[in-house]
């Protein structure tokens, strides 16, 4: 059970309803994470705007979802792991690619570099080196790509923290977190 109310888009204020209706239109349902964040229209507006902006960025959806599952698994966020695995499959990733991404791995050198960088940002609270950024450039990422990779990590940290802190019920097909050492 969620530690914070899940807002019903049909029984809330006009500003919350407008935002949740947009979410509902995009997903065909209103995922519980958005219902939890709707307790603050400002937070929901920020999150939804970030999803929209990054969805129209230079990184393709498949890579964005691979980053999301790597970050989700690292933060033990079952909700985001489930949601982004489903979205990754919808973006064209195979089950094997999403499982590998969950472990921070990819057979594609560019994707591997992005996942390595994303997890270093998470593990070391953004204390990365010039060499870490250069590793992205060496596989073909430009500065716009690098900043977007970091933006995806930051957005996923926010969503991970929402779902973990508030114990938001998972409403996507569940995916098992990797066992912790």
Location of structure tokens 């929901």: 44
Report pLDDT digits (tens) over 110-124.
999 999 999 999 999
Ordered by start, the domain boundaries in the chain are 14-55, 61-165
* CA distances for 8 relative to 46, 111, 122, 140, angstroms: 19, 38, 33, 44
Q: What is the pTM of this model?
A: 0.97
Q: In the CATH scheme, what is the code of domain 61-165?
A: 1.20.1290.10
Above 90 in pLDDT, residue 180? no
Question: Which residues are CB-contacts of 173 (< 8 A; sequence separation ≥ 6)?
Answer: 82, 85, 86
Task: Give the integer Cα–Cα distance in Å for 16 and 7.
Answer: 8
Q: Average pLDDT of 72-93? A: 98
Residue 21 is predicted with a pLDDT of: 98
Question: Which residues are CB-contacts of 6 (< 8 A; sequence separation ≥ 6)?
Answer: 32, 35, 36, 168, 169
Task: Give the integer Cα–Cα distance in Å for 83 and 24.
Answer: 15
Task: Give the integer Cα–Cα distance in Å for 175 and 181.
Answer: 18
Percent of the chain with pLDDT over 90: 98
Residue 181 is predicted with a pLDDT of: 65
* CA distances for 75 relative to 5, 52, 68, 123, 145, angstroms: 23, 23, 11, 9, 23
Residue 179 is predicted with a pLDDT of: 86
Please report which confidence band the pLDDT of residue 52 belongs to, taking 50, 70 and 90 as the band edges: very high
Q: Average pLDDT of 48-55? A: 98
């Amino acid at each position: 059970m969620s530690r914070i109310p899940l807002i019903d888009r049909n029984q809330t204020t006009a500003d919350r309803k407008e935002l949740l209706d947009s979410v509902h239109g995009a997903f065909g349902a209103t995922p519980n994470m958005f219902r939890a964040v709707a307790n603050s229209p400002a937070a929901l507006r920020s999150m939804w705007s970030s999803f929209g902006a990054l969805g129209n960025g230079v990184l393709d959806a498949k890579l964005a979802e691979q980053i999301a599952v790597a970050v989700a698994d690292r933060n033990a966020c079952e909700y985001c792991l489930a949601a982004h695995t489903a979205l990754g499959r919808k973006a064209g990733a195979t089950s094997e690619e999403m499982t590998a991404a969950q472990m921070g791995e990819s057979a594609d050198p560019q994707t591997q570099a992005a996942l390595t960088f994303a997890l270093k940002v998470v593990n070391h609270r953004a204390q990365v080196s010039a060499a870490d950024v250069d590793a992205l450039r060496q596989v073909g990422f430009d500065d716009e790509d690098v900043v977007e990779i970091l933006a995806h990590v930051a957005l996923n940290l926010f969503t991970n923290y929402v779902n973990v802190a508030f114990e938001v019920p998972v409403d996507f097909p569940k995916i098992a977190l990797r066992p912790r050492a």
